Amino acid sequence: MRLFRLLLVGVLTGAALPAQEAARSEPIDLVTVLRLAGAESLDVKLAEARVSEARANADSATWALFPTLSPGVAYRKHSGQLQDIVGQVLDVNKESLSAGATLGVSLELGEAVYRRLAAKQTARAAEHQLEAQRRMTVLAAAAAYFELTRSHHAVILLEDAVRTSKEYRGQLAKGVGAGLTFKGDELRAAAAVSRLELRLRQALELRRGDAARLAQVLRLKITETLVPADDRPLPLTFAENDRKLDDHVRIAMAKRPELQAAGALQQAAAYQDDAATYAPLYPTLGAQVFAGGLGGSQGSVRRDFDNSADTFVTLSWKIGAGGLFDGSRQDGAKARLRLSEIGEARVRDDITRQVVEAQTGAHYLGQQLKIAEEAIKNAETGYKLSLERKDLAVGVVLETLQSQQDLIQARMDYAQIVGDWNKAQYRLKIVTGE
């Protein structure tokens, strides 16, 4: 929940929707995206199913330690020859009936104990893997939202540029009609309008694609086009940006669920190794207790029953495959333990690499963000000056058109960098386990 609270800082509302898509568009903000992320994700559902399976296996391993109760009724009839205990063959006709319950257990003590311990660790690993999948799904949803915000802002910028360019072309057309403006200037303005309209169509298509991808991540119906509530990307900043790299790595090692899952799997492998080494030293316990009634006689079953009880207890050890002196089983268990140790080490290396890349990327994009902000200021100033020169009839048409193109590109570059910056911020929080 802490992650979701931290993400609230970047949410604004109230964007205007393009008129051509307003009837079928559905606005969505970052809070809603984060709330929906993982709710219907197939990857999350798959991880949840694995948790349920692992918990069931752990419960099954626990119940194996308890005896079973088997109530029932038994009827037996024999007619014909039967050999007695001294070897004499007799012609016998008899029936018997018993009713009661048997409490029994057949338990490999060592195997049962270690199997239960390993199963509990496997269930823990599945739970941590589920948390990791949820966090990755949140990251993917946030990234998709930022991409949609960027493409939506590009549409707004280009729509405004097309409108402004058409107005400028109209002014030049009036000047040509009055004989005050060169026809070539009008044609340059018309060409600029065409280029902007082409870019606008491309931007609209890109926005539709980004909206579809976000809907896919959230598993929403694609019949309605999603549009961001934020009409322009706004840079998000978290306090952790000033944290040193070593601190990021240390926190990630303590909090990342992937590493906790790897540790649980390693512990499960350690219990399996202990089972291969020590479990055969424990005896296999066999015990049965029957209590009920028994009746019988020659020819027919008696109606009256007397109490009947039997007790049977054994202790045994297995020698050979799966038991004592099974070296191949021990070697296999040690190999699996070694594999789990290597797996955990790889997870540690991956986490360290992810943290380094995320922090480096965030730092790099932070520098780009400052440059992009300065570029917008310069482009806005240049465009303003070109309009002033145009109004004073000292500027040329090409200068005005070029300054407009520079301003559009500067704003779109800024939007791109802001989107990348926001994704980097979220990624840094995810990879550090925040």
Superfamily of domain 2-431, CATH level 4:
Outer membrane efflux proteins (OEP) (1.20.1600.10)
pLDDT at residue 1, rounded to an integer: 36
Question: What is the residue-wise DSSP string for 133-202?
Answer: HHHHHHHHHHHHHHHHHHHHHHHHHHHHHHHHHHHHHHHHHHHHHTT-S-HHHHHHHHHHHHHHHHHHHH
Lowest mean pLDDT among 76-80, 139-143, 274-278: 76-80
- The reported pLDDT for the residue numbered 268 is 93
Spatial CB neighbours of 413, under 8 Å, sequence gap ≥ 6: 372, 375
Domain boundaries in the chain?
2-431
pLDDT in tens, 261-302: 999 999 999 999 888 888 788 887 777 787 877 777 765 555
Q: In this structure, are strands 225-228 and 25-28 parallel, antiparallel, or unpaired?
A: parallel
Q: What pLDDT was estimated at residue 148?
A: 93
| List of residues 6+ apart from 168 with CB closer than 8 A | 189, 400
Per-residue model confidence as pLDDT tens digits over 239-251: 566 778 888 899 9
Question: What value does the mean pLDDT of the chain take?
Answer: 81
Q: Which two tokens stand for residue 292?
A: 């009920």
Q: Cα angle at 433 between 429 and 434, to 5 degrees?
A: 55
Type of residue at 35: R
Report the Cα 279 to chain-centroid distance in Å. Answer: 37
